[in-house]
Every structure is written in structure tokens, then in C-alpha cells.
């Protein structure tokens, strides 16, 4: 058993994992490949067949995960899931000095509540949402926004290094606030890329040559990680999800209510409001389970490029 602050080692540290969707399954797989013992809980056991083939142990319940592990990762869909699984579930069964890392894009206020509840149980939580899509999850190149206790975040570095690069951004809830800001920027960038590609097509240009020219050897001003991740997918009409569109609608929505719930003035976010409206149009069109690169389909509908 390895509990904080004893050093983390694959031979001693027992990992728990809850949430085996597109991103969660890929990240758990990396931890298994790094030699860690991983115990997984999934409501649908068929989702963890691949992880079991890598050596993962299957738990009967979240409580079973909590009792038999030292560091527990969660990557769930919505804040309501986090409240149910973590605040109302895991914390009643965790071992002293264990650590719960929540990779879910959730609400900063909820993250603070969970941190405070964890300290009452003599354990720790870190809100650590990620960015980098499914490619980053598979390749271990995720950006991890870590909020909580800085010493605990530093202690977790051997695990975070398997997944990508973790940056301590502040106290409890700050990881979630950082992810919301990330989504505001990403949403605006996807909108710009979508409009650029639609314009290129209408202008009779080759869209691949446009992307190649903008990225260039050193990168044009409009080149970005968004273009790297999603440009080719948009051109190929590959809308398979690295993260569901309905989730970025959730994330952008949290940007508007964080200030209100914390008793502060709401930050004016006109660009994020437009992005949320357009992503919401995707959901209304029945495309909420597509990847966020599908935003181009909304622009195409507006401009009647495609039926």
C-alpha cells in the first residue's frame, strides 16, 4: 500500500479507476502499460474487456475500488455524476491518506465541496480536468490542470507524467476553472477554423493546401493545436468523438454560472456565448455524440454549403 506521502511506485501503489469512456479507457490503459496495478469499476462491464486483457482487476462497486486502492481516478460525464460517485459514494469508503483525482470537467464549486469533505475523512482530492482529446489520451500528451494542495499534486507527478504534463494552477476548484477557460478558447478556435474551411471551399481553394500554408514551417498566426488536432478530421468529414459535443456545451455553460454561484459578478463572455449557441445547435440537430470538430456542419448549414 502506498498512501500520501510515501513515494509512488508501480510495485506498491494501487490505482483505482472509475469512468471508462473514450478518454478514461485510454488513460487507464496507459497506467496499466506503465506497470501499475489498476482496479476498474464500470457500470457496463463490456466496456472494460480491453482493460481486463491488459491485466486490470474488475471491482463490483465504487466502494470496492475505494477500499482496495491508494489513488483513485475518476473521469465521468457530468457534475451530477461526480456528486453521486465521489461526494456521496467514494468518500464514505476511502482509506486514510488516499487521494482521489477527478479528471471530469466539472464545476469549481463542487470541487471545493469535495475537497473539504475529503479532508474531514483524512484523505485528499485533486480536481484535474484534462485537454488534448483522444489522441492526447492515447499518446500520453494531455494537458492536466491540477487544483488542490500543491504538495499532493507534486507527489502525484509520477502518475501524471504517464498521462501528459500536469500544471498546478491553484487551490481546490482552480483546475476546473482552468478547464472552463480552456474550453472558452477551444470553442472560439474551433469556430474560427470551421468558418475558415467553409470560406476556403466557397472561394475555390484546396482546403488541405490552406491548412498546410497556415501551419507552415514555423507556423502562421492562425496555426494552432486545434488545427493540428481537428483540421484533417474536418476535411475528411471524420466526426468520431474524442470528446462529445454535448460535453463542451456543458463546460461553456459552467462558465456563465460560476460567478453567480460564488456570489460574484458574472464575467461577460460574448464569444463563449456564441460558441455555446452553435455547439447547442449541433446537439439540437441530433449530433451531440459527435466530436466537437463537427461544429463545421453547423456553419455549413448556416451558409448552405451542404444540405
Residues in Cβ contact with 296 at an 8 Å cutoff, skipping those fewer than 6 apart: 193, 194, 197, 198, 234
Confidence of residue 217 (pLDDT cuts 50, 70, 90): low
pLDDT of residue 257: 81
- Say which range, 78-87, 214-223, 280-289, has the weakest mean pLDDT: 214-223
In b/e form, how buried is each residue of 231-263, taking b as 16+ CB within 10 angstroms?
Answer: bebbbeeebebbbbbbbbbbbbbbbbebeeeee
CATH number for the domain including 199? 1.10.1040.10
pLDDT in tens, 149-188: 999 999 999 999 999 999 999 999 999 999 999 999 999 9
As a whole number, mean pLDDT of residues 51-70 equals: 96
Q: What percent of the chain has pLDDT over 70?
A: 96
As a whole number, mean pLDDT of residues 192-201 equals: 97
Q: Residue 278 is part of which domain span?
A: 177-304
Work out how many domains the chain is built from and give that number: 2
* One domain for residues 166 and 186: no
pLDDT of residue 307: 46
Of 116, 139, 172, the position where a domain reaches its end is 172
69, 73, 138, 260, 277 from 45: Cα distances, Å: 19, 17, 21, 39, 36
Cell of 306: 451542404
Beta strands in 157-303 (DSSP E): 164-170
pLDDT of residue 260: 60
Pair 27, 75: CB distance under 8 Å? yes
Going by their DSSP bridges, the two strands 142-147 and 164-170 should be labelled as: parallel
Alpha-carbon distance of 157 to 282, in angstroms, equals 37
The set of catalytic residues is 179
Confidence of residue 124 (pLDDT cuts 50, 70, 90): very high
Whether the per-residue pLDDT at 77 is higher than 60: the answer is yes
* One domain for residues 141 and 240: no
* Residue 169 DSSP SS3: strand
Whether the per-residue pLDDT at 262 is higher than 80: the answer is no
Of 113, 140, 172, the position where a domain reaches its end is 172
* One domain for residues 109 and 198: no
Amino acid at each position: 500500500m502506498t498512501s500520501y506521502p510515501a513515494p509512488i511506485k508501480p510495485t506498491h501503489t494501487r490505482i483505482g479507476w472509475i469512468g471508462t469512456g473514450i478518454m478514461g479507457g485510454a488513460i487507464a490503459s496507459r497506467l496499466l502499460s506503465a506497470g501499475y496495478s489498476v482496479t476498474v469499476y464500470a457500470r457496463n462491464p463490456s466496456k472494460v474487456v480491453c482493460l481486463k486483457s491488459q491485466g486490470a482487476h474488475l471491482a463490483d462497486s465504487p466502494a470496492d475500488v475505494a477500499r482496495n486502492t491508494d489513488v483513485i481516478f475518476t473521469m465521468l460525464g457530468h457534475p451530477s455524476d461526480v456528486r453521486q460517485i465521489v461526494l456521496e459514494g467514494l468518500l464514505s469508503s476511502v482509506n486514510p491518506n488516499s487521494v482521489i483525482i477527478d479528471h471530469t470537467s466539472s464545476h469549481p464549486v463542487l470541487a471545493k465541496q469535495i475537497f473539504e469533505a475529503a479532508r474531514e475523512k483524512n484523505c485528499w482530492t485533486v480536481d484535474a480536468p484534462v485537454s488534448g482529446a483522444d489522441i492526447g489520451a492515447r499518446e500520453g500528451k494531455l494537458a492536466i490542470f491540477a487544483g488542490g494542495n500543491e504538495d499532493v499534486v507534486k507527489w502525484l507527478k509520477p502518475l501524471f507524467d504517464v498521462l501528459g504534463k500536469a500544471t498546478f494552477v491553484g487551490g481546490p476548484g482552480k483546475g476546473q476553472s482552468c478547464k472552463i477557460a480552456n474550453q472558452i478558447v477551444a470553442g472560439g478556435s474551433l469556430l474560427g477554423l470551421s468558418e475558415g474551411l467553409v470560406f476556403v471551399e466557397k472561394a475555390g481553394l484546396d482546403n488541405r493546401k490552406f491548412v498546410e500554408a497556415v501551419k507552415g514551417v514555423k507556423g502562421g498566426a492562425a496555426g494552432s493545436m486545434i488545427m493540428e488536432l481537428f483540421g484533417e478530421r474536418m476535411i475528411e468529414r471524420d466526426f468520431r468523438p474524442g470528446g462529445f459535443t454535448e460535453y463542451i456545451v456543458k463546460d461553456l455553460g459552467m462558465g456563465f454560472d460560476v460567478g453567480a454561484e460564488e456570489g460574484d459578478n458574472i464575467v461577460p463572455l460574448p464569444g463563449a456565448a456564441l460558441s455555446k449557441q452553435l455547439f447547442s445547435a449541433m446537439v439540437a440537430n441530433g449530433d451531440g455524440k459527435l466530436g466537437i470538430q463537427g461544429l463545421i456542419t453547423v456553419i455549413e448549414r448556416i451558409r448552405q454549403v451542404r444540405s
